Amino acid sequence: MERLQKVMAHAGIASRRKSEEIIAAGRVTVNGKKVTEMGCKVDPDQDQIAVDGNLIEQEKKKYLLLNKPEGYITTVSDPAGRPTVMDLIPDLQQRLYPVGRLDYDSSGLLIMTNDGDLTYKLTHPKKEVDKKYRVVVAGEMKETALKKLSSGLIIDGQPTAPAKISKLKYFSNKTSFDIIIHEGRNRQIRRMCELVGFSVLELQRTAFAFLTISGLASGQFRYLKTEEIKKLKNIG
């Protein structure tokens, strides 16, 4: 059983907040009876739900992988009018939501879906799903700083989990390396680098669990294969 406004949102009727307004206005019926209460729960597979007399159909689950460029925010819409990742997916008939976030100045792999259960599983800290990033910082990062990054740092009073660092490279007074973490704190890698005295110039997520952006140009996306979806659902 799920809340009526959630079912309406998943069916692409409107956002949850707007769906609540539609319910309050008396425009929704469940099995022929008008519903105006927000606490109403329904079975989307059994109950007949209608808006303005029109039965709604549950949207099919969709799963895609996007190679997000810099300069896009990871939200469905933005009040400030900035470009969002939704602008990169033309003619999309269903509402998809990002699994986790990549900040405005970061790029790389982003999973998008309307499967709320899978989103919860992949973003829950207890699942410890690995995420791999390519990082470029200003200056030459020494061994002491790398050890601090890999062993963990204190952010907002809480220690970060140990990280794995590889493919260290120095060039033009910059340092490039790969880092694997399973946490998803706000701007975590940038803040970790700042704590050891380095500013991030480039940050790209290159892998999420077993998925990579190999073969996808910046701004391109592809739908996940059936076996990839099953493997994601079996994580943890």
Catalytically active residues are: 103
- Contact status, residue 138 vs residue 202, Cβ threshold 8 Å: no
Site of tokens 């769906």 = 19
**How far is it, in rounded angstroms, from Cα 45 to Cα 47?**
6
Please choose, from the candidates 110, 83, 114, 109, the residue with its C-alpha nearest in 3D space to the C-alpha of residue 96: 114
**How far is it, in rounded angstroms, from Cα 81 to Cα 100?**
21
What is the four-CA torsion angle of 11, 16, 21, 25, rounded to 10 degrees? Answer: 30
**How far is it, in rounded angstroms, from Cα 67 to Cα 4?**
33
Residue 127 gets which letter from DSSP?
A: G
Rg over alpha carbons for the chain, rounded to the nearest Å, is 21
